[in-house]
Structure 1
Amino acid sequence: MPTAPALSILDRSRTRSSGSDADAVRATVRRAQRVEALGVDGFWVAEHHGVPGVVGSAPTVLLAAVAAATTRLRVGTAGVMLPNHRPFVVAEQVATLAALHPGRVEVGVGRSPGFTAPVRRALGAPASADADERLAELLDWLRGRGPVTLRPQVPAPPVWLLATGEGLRTAARLGLPAVVGGRLLRDVEPLRRYRREHPGGRVGLLIDVVVADDAEAARRELLPQAVALARARSRGEFGPLPTPGEAAAAVGSAGLTGRERADVERYLADAVAGTPGQVRQRLQEVLDRTGADELLVASTPYDEDVEAANDARLAALVPELVGGLRTAG
């Protein structure tokens, strides 16, 4: 019988215009503690470097703090960008976390080099790194197939691949669960192919969700993220989240270009926002279309109290959904 999808929160350690980088990192740990109390299944952290608005730069280090501050949550990375790191070092870090928190650790990895050229040089990333080779190497280390014995020796934790269309083919070939988002929420053909090539493969949907008293309030809370992302895409400046008022003023004045306004509207259209009833209906439609097993929600409202209320509403309505229907197959 189909069950409700698992619910995880992806926290990117976003900075706010009124706070410091340290505030953002500490807020990530507090959020993990709150959502564990709500009964949320998992909590994931991301990797970004040299970005004023996103200060989660060391996911395995931050994950250690999150895991130590909680007792039950599954904790994971979403994700470690493998082309920029030595797979053996990543495997050692993950194995250490798994030894400290058995059965709770998952690792999400990406195949894209990402970041800017100066950041890649600072990381010591090779000029050309084959992402699939590095992924296969990481799996070998974690599964005890490397030329050196990985320590600590622990059961290999689950490895998720953050995937686009081509990444889904890699995930299917290697028998890995996959996290998808963006256009794959609209075009499910790559998901159908993944299901055919990897029957039983787990799929997590990366999606922004805001649940509020009314649709207008939900849109208002989404605006800071939409404006920050639009500016980042056009100006290469991913700054701290503006307040909802600042974001609304930017949209309603000459503060954004035409392209940026279009990006804001596209972001708002892709997100799921509204009253509990509206959000429940939209999420069920997405689950029916994709057959996903897990929701990975990445929303970060500007106000931490609003964020806490949003997480609580989301945790209350997800058990009412039906997931894992495999209708994408």
Structure 2
Amino acid sequence: MSSAIASTRFSFLDRSRTREGYDGPQALRDTVRLAGTAEALGYYRFWVAEHHSVPGVAGSAPTVLAAAVAAATSTIRVGTGGVMLPNHQPFVVAEQFGVLASLFPGRIDMGLGRSVGFTDGIRRALGRDKEDADAFAGQLSELLGWFDGTQRAHPQVHARPAEGLRVPPYVLATGEGAAIAAAAGLPLVVGDLRGREKLMRAVEGYRSGFRPSAWASEPYVVVAGTVAVAETEEAARRLLVPEAWSMAYARSHGSFPPLATAERIEGLTMTPKERELYESGLRGHLAGTEDAVAAGLELVVGETGADEVLVTTSTYDREALVDSLERLARIAGLRGAPDTVAVT
């Protein structure tokens, strides 16, 4: 294990993906269960996501799900990757995180993004439109003001029990997120690992533009992406197959389906467009044997100077996913990593 990897934190983001034969409630229960596994292995954080009206994703209420994850664990940090601030009133978001931080002191992270619902119908249901994403910087400032008591937009109004609490905020680098994080002096979460040049530009711009704040005295970079580790290269590739096909199908048909087994997907007859998107979805991730992934991680951490790696892997086979997390924990030297991993 390199010194770069040894000094890097490793965390996990679960998007609560639904699977063929398993419904949304099962996906949420799987997320809570996986958090316990991540904690036992020694991962630093476990985050959950926000998606609205997506057939293949069950996680629509991240602060609610984060509460369930925190209640089922005891040491791992828990948070959101992230709450999409343009979808909500900052006041309510502050209240929600204030409650979480009060119930689970010292363990809650507030990951924040600037996306809005991805179709007109979803945005109307949320009471939002595309332009609301442009107000993210102002919303972020207001949200932080509810915690430190500096907000002036609503005199004599207080976000209780949030006011006076320090819940660490993180900004997801979608769109102008990196520049906004730098200007606000907040930690940055940026991905994915496949677009290395774009990733590097975002990180470099963030570091050069960072202004120290009451929340962070220096830049902090969390690099996010898919990591799949298995006994063989082929086994690792098969971990990527369900998500690659789901994304290819969504881009071809406009509907994001539940994850299917690698066996079923590999037997499909795909259109040329589907095949191109599917093959593209398999490329560029950190996937392979422990030695191969260790080398890839060393390169990524070395290039980006990342303080933390946030793994976002989704796949159908939950046992294979746990096996991958165990192998990655061993690469990273996490405290709960097994000395050996059973052959799958």
TM over 0.5: yes
Q: 1:297 and 1:290, CA in 2 relative to 1: closer, same or farther beyond 3 A?
A: same
1:217 to 235, 239, 249: 235
Which residue matches 2:49?
A: 46
Q: AA paired with 1:150?
A: A
Check whether the contact 1:5–1:319 (CA below 8 A) recurs between aligned residues.
no
Which deviates further from its counterpart, 292-301 or 107-116?
Answer: 107-116
Q: 1:49 and 1:318, CA in 2 relative to 1: closer, same or farther beyond 3 A?
A: same
Provide the rounded CA distance (Å) in 2 between the counterparts of 1:142 and 1:185. 35
Q: 1:127 and 1:163, CA in 2 relative to 1: closer, same or farther beyond 3 A?
A: closer
Provide the rounded CA distance (Å) in 1 between the counterparts of 2:250 and 2:227. 20
Which residue matches 1:132?
A: 137
Provide the rounded CA distance (Å) in 1 between the counterparts of 2:142 and 2:190. 22
Q: Percent identity?
A: 48
Which residue matches 1:4?
A: 7
> What does 1:200-211 align with in structure 2 at a 5 Å threshold?
200-211=218-229
Provide the rounded CA distance (Å) in 1 between the counterparts of 2:311 and 2:272. 28
Which residue matches 1:26?
A: 29
Provide the rounded CA distance (Å) in 2 between the counterparts of 1:228 and 1:126. 26
Backbone CA RMSD of aligned residues? 1.8
1:192 to 204, 208, 219: 204
> What does 1:115-130 align with in structure 2 at a 5 Å threshold?
115-125=118-128, 128-129=131-132, 130=135
Q: AA paired with 1:111?
A: R
Gaps of 5+ in 1: 321-329
Provide the rounded CA distance (Å) in 2 between the counterparts of 1:114 and 1:278. 37
Provide the rounded CA distance (Å) in 1 between the counterparts of 2:116 and 2:99. 25
**SS of match in other structure, 2:144:** helix
Deviations 1:86-114 (A, max 9, x none): 11101100111001111111111111224
Deviations 1:213-246 (A, max 9, x none): 1111111111001000111122111111010111
Which residue matches 1:324?
A: none
Q: AA paired with 1:119?
A: I
How many residues are aligned here?
A: 316
Q: Offset of 1:308 from its aligned partner?
A: 1.2
Which residue matches 2:297?
A: 283
> What does 1:196-275 align with in structure 2 at a 5 Å threshold?
196-198=208-210, 200-250=218-268, 253=269, 255=270, 257-275=271-289
Provide the rounded CA distance (Å) in 2 between the counterparts of 1:68 and 1:154. 23
Q: Offset of 1:134 from its aligned partner?
A: 1.3
Provide the rounded CA distance (Å) in 2 between the counterparts of 1:119 and 1:77. 21
Which residue matches 2:337?
A: none
**SS of match in other structure, 2:55:** coil
**SS of match in other structure, 1:205:** strand
Provide the rounded CA distance (Å) in 2 between the counterparts of 1:115 and 1:270. 25
2:189 to 179, 184, 189: 179
Provide the rounded CA distance (Å) in 2 between the counterparts of 1:248 and 1:101. 44
Provide the rounded CA distance (Å) in 2 between the counterparts of 1:190 and 1:166. 9
Check whether the contact 1:32–1:43 (CA below 8 A) recurs between aligned residues.
yes
Check whether the contact 2:115–2:174 (CA below 8 A) recurs between aligned residues.
no
1:300 aligns with 2:314: yes
**SS of match in other structure, 1:10:** strand
1:312 aligns with 2:326: yes
Deviations 1:270-290 (A, max 9, x none): 211000000000111111111
Provide the rounded CA distance (Å) in 1 between the counterparts of 2:256 and 2:90. 28
**SS of match in other structure, 1:186:** helix
